[in-house]
Chain A
Amino acid sequence: MYVAVKGGEAAIRNAHQLLAEKRRGDRSLPAMTVGQIVEQLTLAVDRVMGEGSLYDRRLAALAIKQARGDLIEAIFLVRAYRTTLPRFGASLPLDTGRMVAERRISATFKDLPGGQLLGPTFDYTHRLLDPALEDDGATEPAVADAAPTEDGLPRVTDLLADAGLIEPDGTGEDAEPADMTREPMAFPAGRDLRLQALARGDEGFLLALGYSTQRGYARTHPFAAEIRMGEVEIEIAVPGLDFPVSLGRVAVTECQMVNQFKGSGVAPPQFTRGYGLVFGHAERKAMAMALCDRALRARELGEDQTAPAQDEEFVLSHSDNVQATGFVEHLKLPHYVDFQAELDLLRRLRSEWEARDEAGREAAE
């Protein structure tokens, strides 16, 4: 039963005003602009776009500013905003093979066609705080190579596939994919639905699950066959036109994990795949997603299902941080009536217990 509680309007109004003041902080410092967040907190923006499941850099930056840097709150704001817009349709599937890559690495082949491009990475930095960043000093422009990278980089998994050493990644035939924003999630979930849920899932949750698979809870022996990050064109079909129409480009991070598989009655021993694809530059998330995708394929591949990361109902039902925060945080809302009922019950039980206790003692005397 729900019992409404009224009152507190002025308190709420004042709390919001106090929030606004705290958000602004010390007024002797200039206010942070949305443009600055877009340009200088890019990875926070990317995370909000990915988990907010809405690609719009400025909106994500605005949400981060409004949420005072609380990224889950920002993701919540973005999710709320998207419900106000009509959907025009779905894009053609992105072709990550045609990416203009800023970064592309492989942990499995050192000499892969197209080469290893480190790009703007934290890898190989010393993780020592840089006091120079305390000041707004000049930043040297990045070095440009006279020989730019070529167009289109072959996927490492395609190289393995050409040699017949990895399972095929499907036919590319397009059944209409499941959409958890339109239909309630149902189990067992297809890989399309799982990937959608993982792509918008909480980075921390997926990271922990991915880590658990490495520590032995559903060991899959992963190798990062390839990670690439860059921009791909996004196109839609427009009724009446016989060609797809480009909307522009989106930045994405893709991770292809290859995993061992001992083979089965129907399939020869071969590598299997775990796949991660995320909006923006979100490498940790893409890797964690690929590990979880592979672990969740246990049923399909006839593996023992023993670990949390293999339990799709557990993983998919708890990966959404907006849902999770809603349910956890609602506990702080008034539950006065429920609690009164609990108190009454407890007092009654206690008095019964005390009566029995006393009776017992009297009997013993």
Chain B
Amino acid sequence: MDHQPEQKTDRRQALAVLARANSAELAAAWEALSDAPAIETLRDSEIGLVMARGRVGGGGAAFNLGEVTVSRATVRLASGEVGIGHVMGRDTGRALMVARFDALWQSPGHRGWVETAVVAPVSQRLAKADAETRAKAAATRVNFFTMVRGEDA
């Protein structure tokens, strides 16, 4: 286990992991936090839409593919760190929790804890799930070969 976990991820990576944490993981970590500072809710969680975009041909100009439900929230620690939560789906509690952990991650006193208690375990779970997806896909890999028929071959 890395003893300086705060160096493992930047905020963008931490948020990407938090956005995919499930509510049970977030709630359990929150309950385990013994020294939670006062957190002000700047914008209470709300549900809305984000228009997902693709690119023409995969790499060309953008086009609108369709919308995604998203929940978001914004909080602030007394020390000034502003945390944001933007997560897919309609679970407003998750968005608020992600915002809190994002704020705590930015606070020097809590970053290490957020890394070890939430980001690292969730990240491991996600990596394991991806590895399983890839391994199962790999088992369906085909090696086509062409058979040449006829006298001239």
Contacts and interface: CB of A to CB of B under 8 A. Distances in A.
A173 interface: yes
The interface size bin for chain B is 35 or more
Interface string B52-69: 111111111111111111
B136 A143 contact: yes
Contact of A89 (B50, B131, B141): B50
29 contacts: A53-B66, A54-B67, A56-B68, A89-B50, A94-B54, A103-B140, A110-B144, A117-B141, A118-B141, A118-B142, A143-B136, A144-B138, A144-B139, A145-B141, A149-B141, A170-B61, A175-B62, A179-B51, A195-B63, A199-B54, A236-B50, A243-B10, A245-B19, A246-B20, A248-B20, A248-B88, A249-B88, A250-B52, A275-B58
A208 interface: no
Given A145-B141, A256-B57, A236 B86 contact: yes
Interface residues of A, number: 85
Given A144-B135, A169-B55, 7 more contacts: A56-B69, A88-B50, A104-B137, A117-B140, A172-B55, A192-B56, A248-B88
A86 B146 CA distance: 54
B21 to A, nearest CB: 10
Interface in A162-198: 168-175, 177-181, 191-193, 195-196
Contacts of B61: 170-175, 177, 191-192
Interface in A197-220: 199-200
B56 A196 contact: no
A311 interface: no
A87 B59 contact: no
A180 B66 CA distance: 10
Nearest to B91: A58
B100 interface: no
A43 interface: no
Contacts of A313: none
B56 A148 contact: no
A246 B89 CA distance: 13
A242 B145 CA distance: 49
A321 interface: no
B27 interface: no
A273 B58 CA distance: 11
Contacts of B130: 100
Nearest to B138: A145
Contact of B58 (A88, A101, A119, A157): A157
Contacts of A104: 137
B110 interface: no
Contact of A115 (B53, B86, B141): B141
B84 interface: yes
Contacts of B134: 100, 148-149
The 4 A-B pairs of least Cβ separation, nearest first, read A170-B60, A169-B57, A148-B134, A145-B138
A55 interface: yes
A264 interface: no
Contact of B53 (A59, A94, A111, A119): A94
Nearest to A110: B144
B90 interface: yes
A92 B142 contact: no
Nearest to A274: B57
Contact of A145 (B12, B20, B135): B135
A53 B47 CA distance: 17
Contacts of A53: 66-67
Contacts of A50: 66
B49 interface: yes
Contacts of A172: 55, 59-61
Nearest to B54: A277
A142 interface: yes
Interface in B122-153: 130-146
Interface string A69-88: 00000000000001001111
A116 B126 CA distance: 24
B51 A248 contact: no
A90 interface: yes
B53 A91 contact: yes
B135 A85 contact: no
Contacts of B68: 54-56, 91, 234, 247, 250
Contacts of B51: 87, 89-91, 179
Given A87-B48, A88-B49, A245-B15, A170 B57 contact: yes
Interface in B72-127: 72, 84, 86-90
A149 B55 contact: no
